């Protein structure tokens, strides 16, 4: 029996795991994805500037820092496991997963963001053959595209953004788009149109040609375009059915997410929310806001289990748990 089970390992879930460890709670983290980090995996190569006190850092770097912090107190981590239902038990809750597992827990923190995001595919039978070579659904490393002929498929904000970012790095950038003009951020579109990027309007990918790697793509069943890397930027399919499928009845906000309080409470005592999953007056939809939510949700979960527990954890600078670790760091700093 765990004190708290956190569903979702984005910034909210990872920080909640750290903070619940700080509060001495037996913690489990569950995510449907194979890796920790949540939505930040959609932009690993972007610079993030607005996390308080952190220098500008890549999404990938933030995932590493958050993950290291999250496992500091050894939570149990369950990956590749989609939670499909929550039911109330005498002593807490039972979470059931798509792959048939059951997880018992005294409290739950829903840090599920806007759901499970899966990049939309082109829908061609040969697609799977190239996903481990030169077909990408997100840009993980800019260096990979240096001096290459790159085709980006898509016309949304993200596709335009990647085309502008890769233009000075790649040998040539093509954008294939099914419509005859872009809609979105005007300045970004103008930058793209004024650059060396070649836009092929009213075209869709109808074939990916090559054996191990894509060597060319077929557009509109006719034109063959030789390319070295292909980026598909068609948006995401979102699965967000956990609450709908659960036996417990959790009230939803009329606009988006779970209707909660600024303390992370939902309509079900013992179930809390943090990050993009929850909505309340004054909500900050930033990574920084997810951390704040996570600490509140953990504190409420702690008090649910132990009503006499203090409202918040001791600050880290004076926390007993760090004494040994601090000694080591001070020694390394020769202080």
Q: Which is nearer to ligand FAD, 36 or 227 (CB)?
A: 36
Give 288's contacts (C-beta < 8 A, 6+ positions apart): 50, 51, 52
117 labelled binding-site residue:
yes
Q: Select from 182-190, 193-201, 281-289, 305-313 the region that touches ligand FAD (CB under 6 A).
A: 281-289
For ligand FAD, the binding residue among 170, 173, 290, 301 (CB under 6 A) is 290
For ligand FAD, the binding residue among 2, 3, 6, 10 (CB under 6 A) is 10
31 labelled binding-site residue:
yes
Name residue, tokens 């999953």: 277
Q: Does 11 bind ligand FAD (CB under 6 A)?
A: yes
Query: Measured from the CB of residue 226, what is the shortest distance to ligand FAD in angstroms?
Result: 30
With beta carbons less than 8 A apart as the criterion, state whether 3 and 19 touch: no
Q: Which is nearer to ligand FAD, 121 or 172 (CB)?
A: 121
Distance of CA 26 to the CA centre of its chain: 24
Q: Does 12 bind ligand FAD (CB under 6 A)?
A: yes
Q: Does 244 bind ligand FAD (CB under 6 A)?
A: no
Query: Measured from the CB of residue 137, what is the shortest distance to ligand FAD in angstroms?
Result: 13
Q: Does 248 bind ligand FAD (CB under 6 A)?
A: no
CA distance 59 to 39: 10
With beta carbons less than 8 A apart as the criterion, state whether 52 and 93 touch: no
* Number of neighbouring beta carbons within 10 Å of residue 143: 8
Give 5's contacts (C-beta < 8 A, 6+ positions apart): 27, 28, 29, 30, 93, 95, 103, 105, 107, 108, 109
46 labelled binding-site residue:
no
What pairs with residue 93 in β-bridges? Answer: 88, 105
Q: DSSP state, 248?
A: S
Q: Does 264 bind ligand FAD (CB under 6 A)?
A: no
What are φ and ψ of residue 262, in 5° steps?
-65, -10
Q: Which is nearer to ligand FAD, 41 or 217 (CB)?
A: 41
Q: Which is nearer to ligand FAD, 12 or 250 (CB)?
A: 12
Strands 92-97 and 258-259: unpaired
* Number of neighbouring beta carbons within 10 Å of residue 292: 18
CA distance 253 to 30: 24
Give the Å distances, CA to CA, from 224 to 145, 204, 214, 232, 245. Answer: 20, 12, 12, 17, 46
3 state SS of 216: strand
Site residues for ligand FAD, 84-113, by CB under 6 A, read: 111-113
276 labelled binding-site residue:
yes
Site residues for ligand FAD, 32-61, by CB under 6 A, read: 32-33, 38-40, 42-43, 48, 50
Query: Measured from the CB of residue 270, what is the shortest distance to ligand FAD in angstroms?
Result: 18
Q: Select from 197-205, 251-259, 285-293, 310-318 the region that touches ligand FAD (CB under 6 A).
A: 285-293
**Which residues contact ligand FAD by CB under 6 A?**
7-13, 30-33, 38-40, 42-43, 48, 50, 82-83, 111-116, 242, 275-277, 285-288, 290
Question: Which residues does the annotation place in the binding site?
Answer: 31, 39, 43, 83, 117, 276, 317
Question: Which residues does the annotation place in the binding site for FAD?
Answer: 31, 39, 43, 83, 117, 276, 317
């Amino acid at each position: 029996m765990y004190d708290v089970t956190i569903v979702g390992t984005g910034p909210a879930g990872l920080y909640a795991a750290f903070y619940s460890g700080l509060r001495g709670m037996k913690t489990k983290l569950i995510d449907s994805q194979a890796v920790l980090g949540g939505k930040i995996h959609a932009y690993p190569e972007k610079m993030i500037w607005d996390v308080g006190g952190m220098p500008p850092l890549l999404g990938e770097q933030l995932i590493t820092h958050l993950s290291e912090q999250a496992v500091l107190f050894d939570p149990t981590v369950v990956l590749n496991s989609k939670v499909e239902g929550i039911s109330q038990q005498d002593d807490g809750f039972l979470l059931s997963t798509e792959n048939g597992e059951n997880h018992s827990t005294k409290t739950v923190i829903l840090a599920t963001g806007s759901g499970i995001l899966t990049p939309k595919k082109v829908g061609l039978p040969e697609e799977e053959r190239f996903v481990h070579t030169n077909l990408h659904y997100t840009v993980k490393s800019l260096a990979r595209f240096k001096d290459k002929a790159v085709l980006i498929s898509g016309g949304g904000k993200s596709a335009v953004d990647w085309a502008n970012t890769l233009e000075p790095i790649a040998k040539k950038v093509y954008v294939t788009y099914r419509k005859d003009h872009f809609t979105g951020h005007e300045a970004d579109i103008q930058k793209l149109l004024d650059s060396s990027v070649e836009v092929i309007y009213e075209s869709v990918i109808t074939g990916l040609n090559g054996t191990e790697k894509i060597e060319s793509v077929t557009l509109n069943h006719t034109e063959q375009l030789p390319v070295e890397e292909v980026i598909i930027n068609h948006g995401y399919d979102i699965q967000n059915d956990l609450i709908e499928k659960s036996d417990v009845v959790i009230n939803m906000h009329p606009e988006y997410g779970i209707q909660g309080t600024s303390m992370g409470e939902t309509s079900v005592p013992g179930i809390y929310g943090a990050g993009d999953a929850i909505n309340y007056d004054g909500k900050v939809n930033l990574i920084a806001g997810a951390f704040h939510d996570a600490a509140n949700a953990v504190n409420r979960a702690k008090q649910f289990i132990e009503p006499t527990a203090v409202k918040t954890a001791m600050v880290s600078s004076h926390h007993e748990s760090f004494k040994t670790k601090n000694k080591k760091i001070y020694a390394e700093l020769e202080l």
